[in-house]
Amino acid sequence: MSVSRSESYKAAGVDVTAGYEAVKLMKPMVESTFTKGVMGTLGGFGGLFRPEFNGMKDPILVSGTDGVGTKLKLAFLMDKHDTVGIDCVAMCVNDIACCGAQPLFFLDYVAVGKNHPEKIAQMVSGIAEGCRQAGCALIGGETAEMPGFYPENEYDMAGFSVGMVDKEKMIDGTGIKAGDALIGVASSGVHSNGYSLVRKTLGINEKSVRRYIDEFGKTLGEELLTPTKIYVKAIQSLMGKVEVKGISHITGGGFYENVPRMLPAGIVAKIEKAAMPVPPVFDLIAKTGKIPERDMYNTFNMGAGLVLAVAAEDASRAVAAISAAGEQAYVIGECVNGAEKGVELV
């Protein structure tokens, strides 16, 4: 079989053979994510997936897309490219899991200044790990070599995921009422939002990322590259034990923007800040940048990657179920009546 080896295209900055080598390196990683529904093989024009409805009465498809943002700048400085793939998956699958959906498959898009096959393989290894954690298949993707658009050693990364939930089990927040308990599920740190502020505040450069910080037990760069938690399995496990009324993924905009997204009109989420541990990285950011507390809670997750609403009588069982699934959880507040939906941090 003939393959494209355009020397003219290579002279223009696009090495097609490097792309072939990257595909060869990533193939076993991609296949390690395959689930029963995957059809076809890597390299087709479209990713094929046959869903199993497993007795669902009214299956609903749920989709989500997102990227890693300027956290990638840390990966460039550290020359570490495997964990950001986990972030990419997490940002997509956590969003669709908030509806109660189980992610089915994932596709990635990576745009690079120059195709370094080994670096691409590192990125895909992280994406594959994220897919395994979420229980979804990596069924396709695109690597675009874009010389003159991105610097040679930089790239951007985004993803797209599709999941499914039975309509009668869909979580949409409409049943939330005053008196319901709010559960916070611990984050792993900064996750994948607010990095433009982090980089400016902490003066991120090649030297600062290698500074060892005793309180972290690691370098600053290692702490900031800690991958985003993937909550899919914890949510799915919890749904089988209690009625989950609403879930907010605490991403860009922090508590003030994300918690109201799950609330019905006239309900306020009253959250006790002291009820959940705040990781030390947030203290460092706030103190170094002299950032007001409200701005911190309006930008970062502050230790809570998810906020869930359950009936008050289900709160202890919900915390136990989440803990049994391997995540830390705390009762952090309650829902109260208000003039309009919103968040009150006390």
106 and 30 fall within a common domain: yes
150 and 236 fall within a common domain: no
240 and 341 fall within a common domain: yes
217 and 118 fall within a common domain: no
Domain that includes residue 331, residue range: 181-345
Asked if the structure places residue 219 within a domain, the reply is yes
Asked if the structure places residue 2 within a domain, the reply is no
Asked if the structure places residue 336 within a domain, the reply is yes
Determine the Cα–Cα distance for residues 265 and 338; give it in Å rounded to an integer: 9
14 and 162 fall within a common domain: yes
Determine the Cα–Cα distance for residues 193 and 252; give it in Å rounded to an integer: 5
Interhelix angle 16-31/117-134, rounded to 10 degrees, is 20
Asked if the structure places residue 157 within a domain, the reply is yes
| Residue 44's CATH number | 3.30.1330.10
- Residue 41 has what pLDDT? 80
Asked if the structure places residue 39 within a domain, the reply is yes
21: amino acid identity, one letter: E
Give me the tens of pLDDT residue by residue for the chain, a chain 346 residues long. 455 556 777 777 777 788 888 888 989 999 999 999 999 787 788 999 999 998 899 999 999 999 999 999 999 999 999 999 999 999 999 999 999 999 999 999 999 999 999 999 999 999 999 999 999 999 999 999 999 999 999 999 999 999 999 999 999 999 999 999 999 999 999 999 999 999 999 999 999 999 999 999 999 999 999 999 999 999 999 998 999 999 999 999 999 999 999 999 999 999 999 999 999 999 999 999 999 999 999 999 999 999 999 999 999 999 999 999 999 999 999 999 999 999 999 9
| Residue 239's CATH number | 3.90.650.10
207 and 114 fall within a common domain: no
Asked if the structure places residue 5 within a domain, the reply is no
- Residue 2 has what pLDDT? 53
Asked if the structure places residue 3 within a domain, the reply is no
- Give the count of domains, the chain: 2
- Residue 23 has what pLDDT? 86
